[in-house]
Amino acid sequence: MDAHTKTSQLVSESNTGSAKEPSLAYGVDPTRPEKYSLRQARYHAVSEEIARLIPEFKASGRRLKILDVGIWNGVLMRYVEALPGSEIVDLHGVDLTLQPTIYKPEKWASLNAGDLMGGLNFLESNQFDLVVCEQVLEHLPTVDDAISTLGRVLAPGGLLIVGVPIFPEGIHLVRKHLVPAVDKLVGKKKPRGHLQAFSKRTFIGAVTQHAPVKVVAARGFRIFSGGLLRPLENQKWWWQLNRTAGETLPSLCTEIQVLARKAA
C-alpha cells in the first residue's frame, strides 16, 4: 500500500463516522445528506492534503498555518478537526461577509471579513503553509488580483489549493460569452452568480500567470453525479469511481481542484 492510499484510508476512516450518523457526509459534514457526497468531496480531498502535512509539521515542532478563503459556513473546520494531530493546525478564515452560522468560530485561529479582490492587505505576505480557496473565483468579475493575493500570502514552499466549476474546452466560451448575451436579449433581470467560465486549461493558465506557483496536480469532481444518480452517493464504490475518473479526466468534470506549490 503506497503513502497516498494509506493517507486516503486514514482520512476516510476518521471522517466517515458510524452507521448511527448516516446523514453526515464523510462522517462529519451535515451540509449534505449523502454519506459520500460528491459535492463535498472537494473538502474531503483538502483534508487528505492536510493529513499528509500534519506529521511533517508535528515532527519538526511547527504549527501548520492554513488560510481558508471563502469559508461560507466554516465547513472546512469540520473536516480538519476530525483529523489525527489537528491540535497543531491553526485554521484562519476570510470571507467577504462572515456568516452567523460559521461552525465553531471559537476554534478558528482568526476570522476576518475581507474582499479578496481588494488584496486582503490586513494579512502579511508569505505566512500560510496552505491556502485554500474553493468555489470563490467564479463569482468575481475579475480574477487577476484575487489569484495574485492568494500567491502573496502563501509561504515559500507552501501549497495552494484552489477550486472552481469548469466546462469542457470550447464550451466554456459559450458559457462566458453567449449565455450572458442571451440573458441580456431576453431581459433576464436576476444576474447569474457565476461571472467566470473556465476550462481546465484556462484556469490553470490563470493560476500560473497571476501567482508565483507551479501546478503539481489537477483533479476533477462530479464527472457522473446528480439527479437519478444521487442515491449512489451513499455507496463508497461510487465515490471511488468518481474520484478515479476525476483524476484521469479532470477536464470533463463539473469542477476542478488545482494544487500548486510556491518556490521555497
The string of pLDDT tens digits covering residues 126-139 is 999 999 999 999 99
Q: Say yes or no to pLDDT of 18 above 80.
A: no
Q: Which domains does the chain have, with CATH numbers?
A: 3-262 (3.40.50.150)
Grid cell at residue 185: 436579449
Q: Say yes or no to pLDDT of 11 above 70.
A: no
Q: What is the pLDDT of residue 15?
A: 54
In contact, 160 and 151? CB cutoff 8 Å? yes
Per-residue pLDDT band for 66 (boundaries 50, 70, 90) equals: very high
* DSSP line for 22-66: TTSBTTTBTTS-STT-SSSHHHHHHHHHHHHHHHHHHHTT--EEE
Rounded CA-CA distance 127/234 in Å is 39
Ramachandran quadrant class, 255 (left: phi over 0; alpha: psi -120 to 50; beta: rest)? beta
Q: Say yes or no to pLDDT of 81 above 70.
A: yes
3-state class (DSSP) for residue 206: helix
% of the chain residues with pLDDT over 70: 92
The position carrying cell 469540520 is: 78
Q: Say yes or no to pLDDT of 7 above 70.
A: no
Average pLDDT over residues 111-139: 97
Average pLDDT over residues 250-257: 96
Dihedrals phi, psi of 192, to nearest 5 degrees: -70, 145
Per-residue pLDDT band for 6 (boundaries 50, 70, 90) equals: very low
In contact, 21 and 27? CB cutoff 8 Å? yes
Q: Say yes or no to pLDDT of 83 above 90.
A: yes
Q: What is the pLDDT of residue 57?
A: 98
Give tens-digit pLDDT for 142-186.
Answer: 999 999 999 999 999 999 999 999 999 998 988 887 877 777 788
Per-residue pLDDT band for 9 (boundaries 50, 70, 90) equals: low
Q: Say yes or no to pLDDT of 76 above 80.
A: yes
Residue 175 vs residue 208, higher pLDDT: 208
Q: What is the pLDDT of residue 191?
A: 78
Q: What is the pLDDT of residue 85?
A: 97
Please state which of the ranges 14-18, 126-130, 150-154, 215-219 shows the lowest mean pLDDT. Answer: 14-18
